[in-house]
Amino acid sequence: MSSSSRTLLVNAEVYSSSDPFASAVMIDDGVITWVGDEAGARVHTDLADQVVDLQGAFLAPGFVDSHIHATSSGLRLVGLDLSDARHAQDVLDAITAHASDRASGLIYGHGWDETMWADPSLPRRDEIDVAAQGQHVYLSRIDVHSALVSTSLVDRCPDIDRVEGFSSHGAVAQRAHHLIREYAFEQISAQDRRDAQLATLSLAASKGVVAVHEMGGPTIGGAEDLRTLLEVAADNVGPKVTGYWGQLAAEGGIELARELGARGVGGDLFVDGSLGSHTAALHEPYCDAADTRGVLYLSEDDITGHLVESTRAGIQAGFHVIGDAACAAVAAGFRRAGSIVGEQKLRACRHRLEHAEMLSDADIATVIDLGACVSMQPMFDELWGVPDGMYASRLGDERAGSMNRFATILGAGGHLALNSDSPVTPIDPWSIVRAATRHTTPDERITARAAFAAATRGGWRAVGDSQAGVISAGAPAHLAAWRVDERDVHVPDSRVADWSTDPRSGTPGLPVLTGDLPQCLATWVDGRVVYGHDFVQASHG
C-alpha cells in the first residue's frame, strides 16, 4: 500500500493507553488519525481505501533497536556465527569449512566467547593460518572488543607489534584491534557491504523493528560505511535509520557527523572497552586478571571538552562507557561541562550513554539530572550476569551484583532506552523485554510494561521525537502486528495486580513472555508495510 492511502486496521487487540479497549486504527498518509472500537470502525469503513482484518492480532507500536552495527550484523548472517563454539577446535573447524567454499577474500566471523568454554584456550594464529588456507580471517569476540585474526591481516598493518593490545599468537585487543578491524572492513566490497546492511534491515523489519540507531565511528566501520547505510535506508522501504558518528569534537567529529547526516557525534565513542576483553576501565583490578584495571581511552578532560563543544554546536553527544572508573569519568565530565555551558543547555541536548553497566548511585544522580539518555542491553545481563558467569569471574559476586541498573535508573526518573547492540546480541526485541523483567538481580527487574516502553518510545525519545512510539491520533504509524497466545498486565505489586488485570481498569495488557515469544505478522513504517506483505494482502477486507 502507498503511504498516501487510507488504511483501516480492524479486529485487533490494540496496545494503546489513549484507548485501552481499542480494536481498530485508521492510518492516513502515514499518520494515525483515529483509534477506537469495532462500532467506530464501521463508521470509518467507507472512508478507507482499504480495510485490513488483523484476525485478532496484537497491534502495538513497533520496536526501536537504538544501538546496532548494521554491516557487522549482516555479515554475521552470511559469515561464521561462532556463538555455539565451545572449544578452540570448533572455531578452527568452522574456518576450515568456510575456506573450502571460497577461493579468496575475507573470512568474517563473530560471536566466540571463551568464558563459555570448559577450556578457555584460544586458537593460535598459526593454526588459524592453516585452517584459512591463505585467506584473510577476522573473527570478532562476542563483545567486538577483541578478535582472532590471520597473519595475513597482521602483515597488512605496519608496526602493529608496537601498538597496545597486540599479541603475537592470541587475540588482538585495544588499539591493535581497532587498526586491524579497519583494514579488515576495507576488504569488504561495496556490494557486499550494501547486501549486509539490507539483510540487517530486512531482519529487523521481520522482528517488528521500525527504526534502528546505527553506531558508526572511525574504528567501527568508517565514514563510508555509515554513509552507505544511510543511502541504503533512504533508497529502500524498511526501518528508519538514525546514524551516530563516534569521534571526538576536538578531532573534527562534529563537522564529519554533519557531513554524513548523523544525528549525533558520539554513540560508540569509546571511553573504555569491554569486560569480556578485560578493557572496561575499573577502579579495582579484575578478579581473574589482577595485573589490569582495563583501559581508559578518554580522559575526564576529553569527555568534558566533547560535551562542551557538542552542546555549543547544538548536536547530541554520546559515549560508550562500561566500567565503574569510566562511568565515574563520564559523570565528572558532565558536571564540569554543565558548569561551563550551563546545565539547562546541557540538558537540552539529551546526550547519550551507551551500556553504562557500572553506574554508581552518584553517577546515576548526575547523568539523570543533566538530561542524559541511558541506552542499555538487557541481554548482556541474561548472558553474563548468571551465577558463575562472565561478570562474576571478571568482577566477583559483589561488583557483578550491582550492574545494569534498570530499575534504579527508572526509579530515579531516568530516560532508559533498551536495545540489542547487534551483533553482540541478536535483534530480537521481545527477548530484550523479557530479559529486563527477569534481571539476575531481583531489585533491578522492571515490569514488561516499563521494558516495552523503553524498547519502543524510549528509542524515539533518544533522538528527540516525543510523538512516535505510541498508538494515538496524530502519532506516526510505526506499528507491528503479532500473533500472541496470551496477554496479561505485568506489575511489581500484587495489590496493584488485582486492579490492573480487572478489565474495568482499562490497563492495556502485553504478551505473556514465559512461553513462546510473539511472532511478528506485519510491520508498518509511516503506514507502509515493510514486512508481512502476504499477511496484509490476505487480510484485506
**pLDDT at 182 (0 to 100):** 85
How far is the CA of 58 from the CAs of 23, 45, 430, 467, 484, in angstroms?
Answer: 9, 20, 13, 21, 6
**pLDDT at 344 (0 to 100):** 98
Give the closest residue to 409 by CA, choosing from 466, 378, 367.
367
C-alpha 391/C-alpha 466 separation (Å) is 35
Measured CA angle at 259 (ends 257, 265), to 5 deg: 5
Lowest-pLDDT range, 137-151, 304-318, 347-361, 396-410? 137-151
- pLDDT tens figures, 42-95: 989 989 999 999 999 999 999 999 999 999 999 888 788 898 999 999 999 999
Provide the β-strand partners of residue 425.
none
C-alpha 411/C-alpha 390 separation (Å) is 27
- pLDDT tens figures, 170-193: 899 988 998 888 888 888 889 989
Q: Which residue did the predictor score with more confidence, 157 or 486?
A: 157
Average pLDDT of span 391-406: 96
Q: Which domains occur in the chain, in start order?
A: 6-62+469-538 (2.30.40.10), 67-186 (3.10.310.70), 190-462 (3.20.20.140)
Q: Which residue did the predictor score with more confidence, 437 or 3?
A: 437
Measured CA angle at 106 (ends 105, 108), to 5 deg: 150
Looking at the predicted structure, is the pLDDT value of residue 475 above 60? yes
Q: How much of the chain, in percent, has pLDDT values that exceed 90?
A: 78
Q: pTM value?
A: 0.91
Q: How is residue 481 written as a grid cell?
A: 502486528
C-alpha 164/C-alpha 380 separation (Å) is 26
Q: Are 478 and 211 in contact (CB under 8 A)?
A: yes
First to last CA, the chain: 14
Q: How is residue 116 written as a grid cell?
A: 563459555
**pLDDT at 541 (0 to 100):** 60
As a whole number, the mean pLDDT across the chain is 92
C-alpha 138/C-alpha 146 separation (Å) is 10
Residue 514 burial (CB count, 10 A): 11
The pLDDT confidence band at residue 106, using thresholds 50, 70 and 90, is confident
In DSSP notation, 267-292 reads: SS-BSS--TTTT-S--SS-BTTBTT-
Provide the β-strand partners of residue 265.
317
**pLDDT at 382 (0 to 100):** 97
Residue 360 burial (10 A CB sphere; 0-12, 13-18, 19+): middle
Average pLDDT of span 390-394: 96
CA 12 to mean position of chain CA atoms: 29
Provide the β-strand partners of residue 213.
242
Q: Which residue did the predictor score with more confidence, 503 or 434?
A: 434
Residue with cell 563537522: 255
Average pLDDT of span 427-444: 97
